Amino acid sequence: MKFNILTIFPEIFNILNHGVISKAFEKNLSINCYDIRENAINKHGQIDGKPYGGGEGMLMMAQPLKETLSKISSKDRGHVIYLSPQGKKLSQESVINYSKMKSLTLVCGRYEGVDQRFIDKYVDEEISIGDFILSGGEYAAICLIDAIARNLPGTIGNEDSIKNDSFSNGLLKGPAYTRPETFEDIKVPDVLLSGNHSKINEWKTQKSLIQTYIRRPDLINELKLTKKQKKLLEEWTSKDIL
């Protein structure tokens, strides 16, 4: 898979050379950064201007963005995404769909955003990673790349861990424990030490449902729970305990 990045700070993406995601670069992932300032409108490196009609801050101009995008062939460009707080909120389902594409081009905005004419003519989709504001689209792009790369074959050693991650089945992941068995008088739940895999799986499923019910009830409302999931959740709600 190939990522093309339009940015004024290419060096920010060096962070992807570390950790689990770096393994993907060795196998089936490449990133090419294109510096928007190389296509500035003057010798001062200007790529932004004051918005017509007034308003705070500066806007990135359409022309430098267009010139930068033109450096990427239409074949390699693929789906063009502008990282924007006005975009559709990113979901795990979307991440999986993107991971099946051969190439993505990510446009990283700065300042107060991007001239709408560039968005209208060259952007296929606007994506937001959450209801908050960042200093630039680079950080959102890194989150998106990381999320997608995790779903590429060979990136994660144990691919079953991807299937059990939060949101992979529409639910949050429940609590997890490791050694020692007792930490500051708090013991690991007995069921996890029992060796009874059926009981352990049932416990994990119930805790995942409870975690989601408490912290993200909106996710529960969007899911079609199985009979078993409904029963496990009802058992907990009837006891009215954690």
Q: Which of 112, 125, 146, 202 is catalytic?
A: 112
Q: Based on the residue annotation, tell me whether 85 is a catalytic residue of this protein.
A: yes
Q: Which of 51, 85, 125, 126 is catalytic?
A: 85
Q: Based on the residue annotation, tell me whether 26 is a catalytic residue of this protein.
A: no
Q: Based on the residue annotation, tell me whether 126 is a catalytic residue of this protein.
A: no
Q: Which of 67, 165, 202, 216 is catalytic?
A: 165
Q: Which of 10, 48, 77, 150 is catalytic?
A: 150
Q: Based on the residue annotation, tell me whether 216 is a catalytic residue of this protein.
A: no
SS3 assignment for the chain: CEEEEEECCHHHHHHHHCCCCHHHHHHCCEEEEEEHHHHCCCCCCCCEECCCCCCCCCEECHHHHHHHHCCCCHHHHCEEEEEEEEEEECCHHHHHHHHCCCEEEEEECCCCCECHHHHHHHCCEEEECCCCCCCCHHHHHHHHHHHHHCCCCCCCCCCHHHHCCCCCCCCCCCCCCCCCCEECCEECCHHHHCCCHHHHHHHHHHHHHHHHHHHCHHHHHHCCCCHHHHHHHHHHHHHCCC
Active site (catalytic) residues: 85, 112, 150, 165
